[in-house]
Structures are given as structure tokens and as C-alpha cells.
Structure 1
Amino acid sequence: MSIGTVTADSAAGASSSGPTGGLDGHLAAVALPPRAERAERAEAAADRLRTAGVEAVAVTWVDNAGIARVKAVPLSGLVRAAQWGIGAAPCFDVFLADDAMTTSPVIGGPTGDLRLYPDVDRAVPLAAQPGWAWAPGDRHTQEGAPHPGCQRLFARRMAAAAAARGLGLKAGIEIEWVVALAGAPQDEPQYPTHGPAYGMHRLTDLSDYLRDVLRALGEQGLNVLQIHPEYSPGQFEVSLAPEDLVGAADTSVLVRHTIRAVSARYGLRVSFAPVVEAGTVGNGGHLHLSLWRDGQNLGRGGSGPHGLTAEAEGFLSGVLGAMPELLVLGCSSPAGYLRLVPSRWAGAYQCWGLENREAALRLVTGSTGERSATANAEIKCFDASANPYLAVGAVVATGLAGLDQRLALPPEFTGDPAAAAPGTVPRLPAGPAEALAAYEHSAVLREALGEPLYQAVLAVRRAEAEQYADATPEQLVAATRWRF
């Protein structure tokens, strides 16, 4: 049926209010502020943006295929957009990465409409697109109720579920991309640099370009920690300072928009796809996450492995146990499984270890003297085809479930799991079908997402799995490399 038939009451009834804060839990965290308040905040944002020379605002959301979609308004229309929203059809929740459309039991079809509300507090002038600003959007029904399929609102609900336990979360998503000379969509990538992996040669070849990437990110108020050449041809990575859960997902979207805009100015195009050339190391979207209570990092000072507190260990154990189903949300494209190859630091095995880059869950303590500030966990099996809001929200949902059950981590694994005796270390799903089977058995994710969003994700993943079931790796890569 159409989402147009989903009311606030029926949406809330689609999921229970269990420990992860299902669709009817933590509604205050996702409710629209009063219209007058929205107008006042938008007027202040418009004044700030006007001073920066902004004439139009791009308002984005990310669909379940991992594609950022956009509606834009002139700056003169920002206040009205904040008051009344921008029309946005619900069918985008069942779009595939190639713009084909599927359907789900709740969302799909031509009927119904939603309102996209810009988060004006996050609006920022785009340094590489003069005259433009960007803001992430939240989607609500025409009656003002939270849209049950809104991925950003899902991430906000999960942050609220953690906050209800007195827990804070800091997160950051690494951005890896491949830069190539501009060309037609069907063209194989031609690289502007052929320097060695991680080599200064690459930075020298593209020093002006990378400087302008850094400059644009800095002018947009983003705190860059490092930027460097990566392993594959034409590949680079940028890391930013950790933020709150939703802020980190917002930043990952903004960073990719910015890199793409700077690249276009240099006659270059970029790919954030999981794999750009079949058989090569791909682009990851590693998620770093730390858990805090009362200003204390729960990854330090405890009696658990490497100083983990019991809460942090339970949280990470819940995440590790749910890795197969989490791939549906963190490794979204079928092409992602071409990246998830053993012995390539992609995290292809369901294990954890201190600074183990082959483990799906890598524990990072940081350097002596700063560990109380820097200790975190890295999820290495995720890539940039993921909707970042779904990825961070789902990780928190499974982590809170593990915390509530007071789970303990299994024994740590050191070294390369691929070299272990067969069956010693579980391999993560090697394709979409196995991951989807795990997802369909996950009561935690079903409750946390709520039935409309859970089913929409399932429909998109099934459709894309069927779409590329008979494709060769080369065909799959060619079909997806310029979509992300």
C-alpha cells in the first residue's frame, strides 16, 4: 500500500517500544519544533547565509540505496521551507542505486507525499559551490508526524535511546575516494596520478587539488584530522574529528559533496563506490565509535580487555554478534562484497582484535597519555554505499541490545584470520543473500528500524541482489562505480 495511508498512530504501532527505542520510542527526539520556532531559527540562518553570499540552499536526504537525493530552494524560500517543508515523494525510499524503483508492503507506489524540513542549524555555505549552501533534511508526513521511513530520524531515535541510559556517543566515518579524469559514464577510469600507494608522489601530483579539498572543508567549519593517499590507483582518504552520532553522519554526506565539487573544478570525477576496478582494493567507509558516560570514555578504565568497561564490552559484543545483519545497512551495494575480501584489511571476518586491521571490529586504544580521550572501536566492514544514518543507527541499536544483555566479547584474535584453521573464525557473508537472511532474523533491527523502514530496506536490498545476481564482477563494478 502507499505510504500515504500511514498515519502517525499506525506508524507508531508498527513497532514496540523495546530497549532500542522502536518507532514509538523517543518521539520527542524527532518531533518537529513549533512552527514559530522553526521560522525564527530559519530567519537567523538565512541572515547568516546571506552575509556569506548564499543565494540557494540544497537540502539533502540519503535513500536506502545509499544515494544522496536533493531538493533546493532559493534563500528567500528558506523560512517557508522550514515552516511548511518541501514536497518529497515517499517513493524515494524504494529507489535503487540506478534509479529503478521497487516497492515494499508499506512504502511504494505513486500515491502520497511527504514534507522535507531543512535542519537550518546545520546549514553551511558550500566553499566549492559559490552562492550555494547545504543543509540535511528530515522527512515528516503532511500532518507533521515523523515519517517512519526517514533514515535521519532513525539515527536521532537511536541517539535518544542511548541518551535515555545516560550514554553519549562520539562517531566519525572515514571517507575514501578514487579520483579520475572526467569522462563518459561507460568509460574505464583514467587516473591523474600513478604514484605508489601511500606515496608522496601522489600528493605532489595533486597537491593543488588536495589543498583545495582541505581549504573547502575548513571553510565549512569541518575539523580535518588527516588526509593522505591510499592503496588503490588514484585513491585518497580524509578523516575528520569525532562528533555526535547524527552530526557524524551529516558530515560524511557534506564531505562527499564537497570533494565532488572540488573535483569538478579540476576537471576530475570521483567515485566513493565500494570497488572502482574489479579485483582491486576498494573504498571503505569505516565507522569509528566511542561510548561515554558523565564525560568519561567507557573504552578506558575498566577491568575488561584492554581497559574496556563492562558497558563498553557489552556494547561492542552486541555489535560484533550482529555483524552479518549489519552488513545489510553498512555494506549496502552488492558491489560491496567484492571489496569484502580476506587479507585486504576490509574486515571480512567476524572477530575483534586490538589494532587488528583484518578484524571486522578493530579496537583502537590510541597513544599512551591520550587514551582516555581517543579510545574507540572501528567497524571496518562498512563502505560508502551505506546510508550513513542507517549505518550509525543500526550499530547503536545492536550495541545497546548487547549492553542490556551484559554480553562479553569472545576471545580476541590476533593476526590474519584467513591464515587460521578452517572454521576457527567465522567469515562474514560473502554476498547479499546470506546477509539478507541474517537481517530477516534480526528482531533487534526490526524493532529499532520500525516496520516501514525495515521493510523498505529489505525490498531495496532484495531488488538490487536480484538485479545483479548474474553479473560478472566487471559488470557489477561498471554499473555502480559512478553511482556513489
Structure 2
Amino acid sequence: MTSSRDRAERASRARVAATRIEAEGVDAVALGWVDNAGVGRVKAVPVRQLEHAAQWGVGASPCFDHFLVDDAMAPGGGPVGDLRLVPDLDRLTRLAAQPGWAWVPVDRYAQDGTPHPGCQRLFAARTAEGLEGRGLAVRAGFEVEWVVCVEDGTGAGAGPAYGMRRLIGASDYLRDVVRALQEQHTRVLQIHPEYATGQFEVSVAAAGPVEAADLALLVRHTVLAVSARHGLRAAFAPAVTPSGVGNGGHLHLSLWRDGRNLGHGGLGPYGLTREAEAFLAGVLAELPALLALGAPSAASYLRLVPARWSGPYRCWGLENREAALRLITGSTGEQANAEVKCFDAAANPYLAVGGVLAAGLSGLDRALRLPPEVPGDPAAADGVERLPASLAEATAALRDSEVLREAMGPQLHAAVLAVREAESELFEGRTPEEIIDATRWRY
């Protein structure tokens, strides 16, 4: 339960922050969270109301836990109850591409100040704390892919995949994306044309798990805003056209202890320490259920198909882009990490990272070892399991996962299942074109 001292301390910090950003030209603050369907939701306050919002929170119905991608509601949601959105002032950011605005992620609490058990951001924080209790830390980062479209949904930006011609055609636009991110103190590592027509990718520096999810949202919000200022639309959906490769939301992560990357210098495969191997083996063990968190849309399974480097097989391999879990040793040991390739941007990033950490913790608890590596195309290897090929299959795996049920808690686990089941029913029998049309602009 939140104490009066905690409220007073939050109010004091917010007063200082509001004075600073108002002097920088900010008039209003967007308070953002992500629902279980992966849709970003928001309430906003004038900058001079930030102090009150930090002290007492802003009201929001718990029904958002059951919202679907089309704004309908899954069974379990209803008109009764209220939660408080409490901004995390450490993440308050003036938005460079939205003059007069700032953004801050929120945690959700009950009226009495107790944590809401359905809050996905608090779930991610709990799993990170579970690692910290072992003296471990995770550095994580999401790749952000999107397709730049004109109004009718056609990809904009002609030129070959990864081609300089496409970069030249979009140079002013991409420059503005980079400038906006850098003005927001986000360290950009790479930005480049991707495979599909009009597709681009940006990667930012790794951070702690919750901060990495915050950054994934901030990058996407920034891309949306820059696109709008250029008269364009940005689609982050897993599938934008039926024949396209789609947009991934790959999660990179590395395990650390006492400032040392545990992905190198050990006795496991390719220098993994036993702790890092156990962690990754836990992730691999739970991947079918994790898909319901990291690939949560019916459109996700239009992307997650063989021969598109989307990671549709439950296996791992060194630099194997067709495996769901790609091991990367890097040019130095400090760069060693693993990439979960089967995730996409329809995911609530807090659910995705929290689920992966919970699976990794389970692997540590059981001292798991990785199965044999798949060094080539998994489709040509014997005995390699295909990951769920539909949202219904992934939902069934989540329903059966004791690891994720325990980590998420009964309320969050049940709400996510309700949304996945309702969306499976919503899109049952729909054509790929119909699924894409219904989801292209939602994430």
C-alpha cells in the first residue's frame, strides 16, 4: 500500500520535472501503457497537472485488460472498478517530433495504492527483481521494424532490399527519425532499409529489461510522429501484405553477473557459462507458450512461416536466422547475446520481456542444458519441432504453461488467455487479406 510519504516524494519530484519540461516548451504529458492485445493506450494531462498525477494517479478502467485489437472486449471485462495510472518519472521524455508534448510510461495500481496484479509493466519489473535476487542482471533491446506507407497502405520507398537507392529516397525522413531519437537522449546504434518495400529498421542501445520495453515504445511513438509530419503512415504490424516478410520485434538479451557478460568465457556451447546456458535453455523450453506473449496476433502467424528468417522452429543455432533462438558471439565477448527471433511488434513488450525472464529463471532453477544445436536450415534437419502455427495453438501452450502461469499470477494469466481466445475466435475463417486489413494500423 502506498504511504503518504511515498505520495509526497512523488509529488515533489513531479513538481521539479514539470517545471523543467514546461520551460522546454511542454504543455501536456501523455501517460502511456500497453494492453494485452499489444495496443498502446494513453491518457494525458496538462503539464501543471503532472504533480497531481504523480501523487494520486490518473483514473483508468481495468476493462483495458480485456480489450481486443479492434477495441471490442473479451469476456471478463466490464464497467465496474477503477485503477490509478502512476507515471514513472525516471522515464519522462520530451517528445522531439510532437512539439509541446512529453511522454511517460505508467504503472497501474489499485485505488488503495497496491500494485494491480494485471499490470504488465510491474510483471516485467518483478521478473527482473527475481534475477537481481540471484545477483544477476539482464541487458535487453528490441529491434523495431516498420513499413512506411502512403495513405492506402502501399509501401512507400522504392529500391532494393537494404539498398542505397531506398536510403537516398528516404534520407530526409530517416534523418528526422534519427534526430528526434537523439534529441530524446536515445542512443541509436543502427538505422537502415530492410527487406520489404518501404521497410526500415532501427536499433537502440541495450538497457535493463523494463527500460528496454519503455524504449521500444518510445521509438515506435517517435517513428509514428515523424511519419505523420512527413505525410506518411508507419505500420508495425506483423504482416502488412499477404506475400511480404512482415515486421519482427526481435528481442536481444544478455545475462550478466558483477559486470561480466555470462555469454562468453564459460564451458558451455560457444563459451556460454552454465548459468547463461541454463537461462537460454529455459527460454527455449517455454517458446511455444511465449509465442502467445511475443507473437500475440492472428497476423503474427502470417509472418511466422519457414524460409522468411522469422524463427518458426523451436531450436537454437549460432548466427542461425531461421532458428527461433539465435546465438550471437559478437566481435568481442562483451557483445555476446541471444536473439529471440519469433517475436513481433504486436507484442506488449512488457509481457514479452517479462515472460522471457520468467522462462530463463525457470531454466536456472532446473539447471537446464541446451539441446544439440541446429547449424543449418531447421526444415532440413530431423526431429526439429515447428513452433505453433496459429494463435490458437500458442494460446493452448500458454494455458498449459505452469512456468508462465506462476510468474504472471492468476489474474494477468487469465486476462491474457481471455484476450487471445477472443481474438482467435474473432479472426477464425478470415482470409490473410482480411486479417491484415484489420490489424495493419493497430500497433
Q: Return the TM-score normalized by structure 1.
A: 0.90
- Indicate the residue corresponding to 1:85 in structure 2: 57
Q: Which runs of 4+ in 1 moved over 6 A?
A: 30-33
Retained in 2: the 8 A contact 1:114–1:139? yes
Amino acid paired to 2:136: L
**1:373-429 deviation per Cα after TM superposition (whole angstroms, max 9, x unaligned):** 1100000000000000000000000100001100000000111111234xx200000
Amino acid paired to 2:335: T
Q: Report the alpha carbon displacement of residue 306 of structure 1 after superposing the two structures with TM.
A: 0.3
- Indicate the residue corresponding to 1:321 in structure 2: 285
Distance in 2 (alpha carbons) for counterparts of 1:191 and 1:114: 40
Distance in 2 (alpha carbons) for counterparts of 1:419 and 1:67: 37
Distance in 1 (alpha carbons) for counterparts of 2:272 and 2:5: 38
Residues 352-391 of structure 1 correspond to what in structure 2 (within 5 A)? 352-367=316-331, 370-371=332-333, 373-391=334-352
Retained in 1: the 8 A contact 2:155–2:199? no
Retained in 2: the 8 A contact 1:66–1:385? yes
Distance in 2 (alpha carbons) for counterparts of 1:390 and 1:467: 22
Retained in 2: the 8 A contact 1:45–1:121? no
Q: Does 1:396 align with 2:357?
A: yes
Q: Does 1:412 align with 2:373?
A: yes
Amino acid paired to 2:53: A
- Indicate the residue corresponding to 1:227 in structure 2: 191
Q: Does 1:168 align with 2:132?
A: no
Q: Does 1:451 align with 2:410?
A: yes
Q: Does 1:442 align with 2:411?
A: no
Equivalent pairs: percent with the same residue?
65
- Indicate the residue corresponding to 1:278 in structure 2: 242
Q: Report the alpha carbon displacement of residue 52 of structure 1 after superposing the two structures with TM.
A: 1.3
What SS class does the counterpart of residue 155 from structure 1 fall into? helix
Q: Does 1:52 align with 2:24?
A: yes
Distance in 2 (alpha carbons) for counterparts of 1:204 and 1:383: 27
Amino acid paired to 1:243: A
Q: 1:212 to 1:32 in 2, by over 3 A?
A: farther
- Indicate the residue corresponding to 2:384 in structure 1: 425
- Indicate the residue corresponding to 1:119 in structure 2: 88
Distance in 2 (alpha carbons) for counterparts of 1:475 and 1:346: 22
Q: Among 13, 18, 43, which residue is 1:41 paired with?
A: 13
Q: Report the alpha carbon displacement of residue 193 of structure 1 after superposing the two structures with TM.
A: 1.6
Distance in 1 (alpha carbons) for counterparts of 2:253 and 2:329: 12
Q: Does 1:475 align with 2:434?
A: yes
- Indicate the residue corresponding to 2:120 in structure 1: 151
Distance in 1 (alpha carbons) for counterparts of 2:363 and 2:259: 22
Retained in 1: the 8 A contact 2:237–2:247? yes
Q: 1:425 to 1:142 in 2, by over 3 A?
A: same
**1:160-193 deviation per Cα after TM superposition (whole angstroms, max 9, x unaligned):** 1110111111000000000011x2xxx4x22332
Distance in 1 (alpha carbons) for counterparts of 2:33 and 2:21: 20
Q: Report the alpha carbon displacement of residue 31 of structure 1 after superposing the two structures with TM.
A: 9.5
Distance in 1 (alpha carbons) for counterparts of 2:55 and 2:388: 45
Q: Report the alpha carbon displacement of residue 103 of structure 1 after superposing the two structures with TM.
A: 2.3
What SS class does the counterpart of residue 238 from structure 2 fall into? coil
**1:47-104 deviation per Cα after TM superposition (whole angstroms, max 9, x unaligned):** 2211211110000000000000000000000000000000100000100011011123
Amino acid paired to 1:388: P
Q: Report the alpha carbon displacement of residue 44 of structure 1 after superposing the two structures with TM.
A: 1.8
Unpaired runs of at least 5, structure 1: 1-7, 9-29
Distance in 1 (alpha carbons) for counterparts of 2:365 and 2:64: 35
What SS class does the counterpart of residue 34 from structure 1 fall into? helix
Q: Report the alpha carbon displacement of residue 36 of structure 1 after superposing the two structures with TM.
A: 1.0
CA RMSD of aligned residues (A): 1.2
Q: Report the alpha carbon displacement of residue 33 of structure 1 after superposing the two structures with TM.
A: 7.2
Retained in 2: the 8 A contact 1:287–1:380? yes
What SS class does the counterpart of residue 455 from structure 1 fall into? helix
Q: Report the alpha carbon displacement of residue 45 of structure 1 after superposing the two structures with TM.
A: 1.1
- Indicate the residue corresponding to 2:101 in structure 1: 132
Q: Report the alpha carbon displacement of residue 280 of structure 1 after superposing the two structures with TM.
A: 1.2
- Indicate the residue corresponding to 2:251 in structure 1: 287
Retained in 1: the 8 A contact 2:156–2:197? no
Instruction: Tell me which moved more, 353-362 or 41-50.
Output: 41-50
What SS class does the counterpart of residue 226 from structure 1 fall into? strand
Q: 1:31 to 1:375 in 2, by over 3 A?
A: farther
Distance in 1 (alpha carbons) for counterparts of 2:166 and 2:9: 49
Distance in 1 (alpha carbons) for counterparts of 2:217 and 2:178: 16
How many residue pairs align between the two structures? 443
Q: Return the TM-score normalized by structure 2.
A: 0.98
Q: 1:32 to 1:280 in 2, by over 3 A?
A: farther
Q: Report the alpha carbon displacement of residue 438 of structure 1 after superposing the two structures with TM.
A: 1.1
**1:131-183 deviation per Cα after TM superposition (whole angstroms, max 9, x unaligned):** 000000010000100001100000010111110111111000000000011x2
Amino acid paired to 1:244: G
Retained in 2: the 8 A contact 1:31–1:146? no
